Amino acid sequence: MMACRNSDISIFRTLCGICALIFAATIWFPDMAHAQFLPTADEETQEAAPVVTDAFERQTPRSSVTALLNALAAGDYEKAAHYFTGVPDPAAVTMTVDDMLAEEESGENEATEDAEANTDDAALEQPQADRTGQAVKLARKLKLALDAGGRLVPFSALSNVPSGDFADGLAPTLERVGVIRVDGTEEPILMQHIELADTGAMQWRIAPETEAQLDRWEPPAALVEADQDDSFKVGGAGAVDWLKLVGLAVALFIAARVVAFAALLVLRKFIDEHDKNVGYRIAHAALPPLIFFGAVVAYFIFAGRMEVAIVARQLLLRGAGFAAWASLAWFLFRLVDAVSRIVTERMRLSDRRQAASMIALLRRAAKLVLIIIVGIALFDTFGIDVTTGIAALGIGGLALALGAQKTIENFVGSLSVIMDKPVQVGDSAQIGTVFGTVEDVGIRSTSVRTLDRTLVSIPNGDLAAERIENYASRDQFLFRHTIGVTYDTSASRIQDVLEEFRDIIASHDHIIQDDARARFIGFGDSTINIEVFLYFRTRAFAESLEMQEDLLLKLMAKLEHMNVEIAFPTRTVIMQGKDTPEPLRDEP
C-alpha cells in the first residue's frame, strides 16, 4: 500500500512538472513563433514574396473560433463582426518585404490622392457601414445563443489546419464548429473558408447559413437583460455561472472518490487475501483513475449543456480536457506499475532475476514514452503548436547526441548488462572496488548495497567496462584449510589422522568426492601441516558456512579423540650451564 502511495506521489510530481513546462511554453512560445529571421544577401536579390497578415487570427478554424470567443468575452462586438462574411477587413494587407522597408523609410501619407477617388470611397462607405452594423447584431445574437445552451466543439477537436477538416462530411469550404438552439431545434454553427477579392487572403468566417439562423432567432428578453447586467462579472461571465460550473466539477470529483472507495471496499469483502489476488491488484490500480476519467466525461456532458456564459463554460471545458489527459496518464502509470510488480514477483519466485531486471527497465522506458505523449497532448490542449518543436528535434539531434554522450553510453551499458547478464538483481558481486548485493539495474545506473548497508550507484557505462566477480554464480563452495599438529606427533599417528579425516570426508553427504582430499603437505616452523581440500555441493553462501562449521567441528573432535594436539607457534630455548643441564621450553 505504501508503494502505491509513493507511486501516486511520483506520478503527480511528474504531472506537475509537465504543467510547469506548459506554463513556461505559454510564456515563451508566442515570442518564438513571431520571431523573424533577417534575409541573407542572396535572399535580398530574389523577388520578395507577399506577406499576408491577419490581426484577427482567422487562418484556421481553431484560431478563428478562439479569437471570436475572446472578442465575445470582452464584449467587443465590433471586433467580433469581422468574423462574419461581407464585413470589410482593414487588417488584411498584402505587402512585400521591400514595400514594408520603403514604408518605414518614407513615412509618407498616401492621403493626397485626387478628389475623385475620395468621392468614390465615400460612396462605398454607406453599404459597408450597414453590413458592419448588421454583423455586430449577429455577433451579439451568437453570444446569447451560446449562453442559452449552445455548444462549441472542444478546443482540441477543432482543426488547426488552414484548409480545415476534409473528413467531416461537409463541403471542403465548410467547417462545423458548434451547435445553437433555434426555435427548439439544434442548428450547426458553420464557418466558411473564403478568399478576399482584394488581397487573395484565405480566412475562416461564420457561414451565411449560420447568419440566416441567427437573423431569424429572437433571444428571450430575460437573457438580453442578464447579458447587459455588468455587475458581478468575472472574465466576461457572471459570477453565478462560474459558481455553477465549479460546483459541478467539485460534486463530480467527490462522487468519483466515493464511488472508487466503495468499489474497492466491495472487492475487498468478496476477495480473500486481496493483496495477493492479481485481479484485485489490477482493479486497485485502474479503478480510481478510470472513475475520475468517467467524472471528467460526465462534466463534459453536463457542463456542455448548461445554460451559462459560453466564456466560462468553454474555459473550464478546456481545463476538463487537461484533466482528462491527466487522468489517462494516471491510469496508465498505475497500470504499468501494477503489472510490472506482479510479473516481477513471479519472475523472482521462479529465480528468473534477469527477467525481473528487464521488466524494471521496460517499466521506466514505458513511463518515459507516456510522459512524452501526454506532454505533447497537453501542449496541444493549451493551444501550443508542438510540430515546430518536434521538427527541431531532427536538427538538434546531432547536438543532443554530442551533449548527451554519457547518458547514451549509460543507456547502452544498461542494455549490455541485461543482455550479457554479468550480474542480476539479488547477486552478490565484486564490481571493481565495490562489493555488495545488486539491488536494481536502472536505465542510467546500477545500485549496489554494500556490507556497510550503504547504497552505491555505478553508472552502467562504467559497469560494462569494469571487472565483475559474481559470487552468486558459484555452483560449489571451496573448503581449503591447513591444520597444523605438534611435532610430538609420530609418523604413524599422522597416518592414522589422515585415514580418519578421509573417512569423515567420504561419509559427508554435501561434499563432492571427485576432488576431495586430506594430505600431509609439509613441515612448518612450529607445525606438521595437513591440508583438507574439497568442495561443498551448494549454491547458497549461508548454507556453505553451515557445512564448513559442521566439518571443522568433526575434524576437531576427531583430533581430540586421538589425543593429537593442534599446534601453535612455539620456541625451544637451550641453555648450556652447570645449573641447567636440561633444555627449557618457552611457550609464549
Q: At what angle do helices 405-420 and 387-403 cross, to 10 degrees?
A: 80
| pLDDT on residue 392 | 56
Mean pLDDT of the region 161-175: 86
The pLDDT score that the predictor gives to residue 577 is 63
Backbone angles phi, psi at 225, to 5 degrees: -65, -40
Q: Kindly state the DSSP code that residue 466 receives in the 8-state scheme.
A: S
**In the predicted model, is pLDDT for residue 27 greater than 50?**
no
| 389: pLDDT strictly greater than 70 | no
pLDDT higher than threshold 50 for residue 114? no
pLDDT band at 541 (very low <50, low <70, confident <90, very high): confident
Rounded Cα distance, 316 and 304, in Å = 10
More confident residue, 449 or 93: 449
Mean per-residue pLDDT, 186-211: 86
* 384 confidence band (pLDDT: 50, 70, 90): low
pLDDT at 85: 85
Q: 477-572, what's its fold?
A: Alpha-Beta Plaits (3.30.70)
Of the chain, the percentage scoring pLDDT greater than 90 comes to 16
Reported confidence tier of residue 322, pLDDT bands at 50, 70, 90: confident
**CATH code that applies to domain 408-473:** 2.30.30.60
Strands 237-238 and 233-234: antiparallel
What is the arithmetic mean of pLDDT over 99-120?
Answer: 45
Residue 88 gets the label, from left (phi > 0), alpha (psi -120 to 50) or beta, of beta
Distance CA 324, CA 378 (A): 10
Assign 3-class secondary structure to 346-359.
HHHHCCCHHHHHHH
Which range is most confident: 35-49, 260-274, 441-455, 498-512? Answer: 498-512
Domain boundaries, given as residue ranges, for the chain: 2-20+237-392, 54-96+126-229, 408-473, 477-572
Mean pLDDT value of segment 218-224 = 78
In a 13 Å sphere around the CA of 470, the CA atoms on its Cβ side amount to 16
| Closest listed residue to residue 47, CA positions, set 95, 93, 98, 105 | 98
Cα distance between residue 538 and residue 512, in whole Å: 10
Give the DSSP letter of residue 45: H
What average pLDDT does this structure show over 395-420? 65
Whether residue 96 has pLDDT greater than 50: no
pLDDT band at 109 (very low <50, low <70, confident <90, very high): very low
Other Cβ atoms closer than 10 A to 542: 7
What is the CB neighbour count within 10 angstroms for residue 481?
Answer: 13
pLDDT in tens, 479-523: 999 999 999 899 999 999 999 999 999 999 899 988 899 999 999
218, with CB counted inside 10 A (0-12, 13-18, 19+), is exposed
Q: What pLDDT was estimated at residue 503?
A: 93
Asked if residue 25 has pLDDT above 60, the reply is no
Q: Are strands 477-485 and 468-470 parallel, antiparallel or unpaired?
A: unpaired
pLDDT of the residue at 490: 92
Residue type, 118: N
Each residue of 543-574: pLDDT tens digit? Answer: 999 999 999 999 999 999 999 999 888 777 77
Query: Whole-angstrom Cα distance, residue 347 to residue 340?
Result: 10
Which of the pair, 239 or 506, is modelled with greater confidence? 506
> Cα 574 vs. chain centroid, distance in angstroms?
83
Q: Is the predicted pLDDT of residue 449 greater than 90, yes or no?
A: yes
> In this predicted structure, what is the pLDDT of residue 496?
93
Report pLDDT for 44.
Answer: 39
What pLDDT is attached to residue 342? 81
Report pLDDT for 148: 81
| Half-sphere exposure at residue 203, Cβ-oriented, CA atoms within 13 angstroms | 31
pLDDT of residue 370: 81
User: Using an 8 Å Cβ cutoff, are 498 and 517 in contact?
Assistant: no
Q: Higher-confidence residue: 247 or 344? A: 247
At 382, the amino acid letter reads: F
pLDDT digits (tens, 9 = 90+) for 54-68: 788 888 988 888 888
Pick from 364, 363, 362, 389: which is nearest to 375 by CA?
A: 389
570 DSSP 8-state letter: -
Q: Give me the pLDDT at residue 400, please.
A: 55
Rounded to an integer, what distance in angstroms lies between the CA atom of residue 181 and that of residue 184?
Answer: 6
Check residue 53 and report its DSSP letter: E
> What does 274-303 look like in DSSP terms, one character per residue?
GGG-HHHHHHHHHHHHHHHHHHHHHHHHHH
Q: Work out the average pLDDT over 311-324.
A: 80
The count of other CB atoms within 10 Å of the CB of residue 175 is: 28
Cα(162)–Cα(216) distance, rounded to whole angstroms? Answer: 30
Greater pLDDT, 489 or 18: 489
Integer CA distances (angstroms), 88 to 138, 198, 299, 373, 448, in order: 15, 10, 40, 42, 73
Q: What is the mean pLDDT of the chain?
A: 76
State the pTM of this model.
Answer: 0.50
Residue 161: pLDDT above 50? yes
Greatest mean pLDDT range, 148-152, 257-261, 275-279: 257-261
Residue 190 CB partners (closer than 8 Å, separation 6+): 170, 174, 175, 176, 177, 206, 207, 209, 210
What's the average model confidence in pLDDT over 352-356? 63
pLDDT above 90 (res 461): no
pLDDT of residue 382: 62
Higher per-residue pLDDT: 304 or 515: 515
What digits encode the pLDDT tens for the residues 98-107?
444 454 455 4
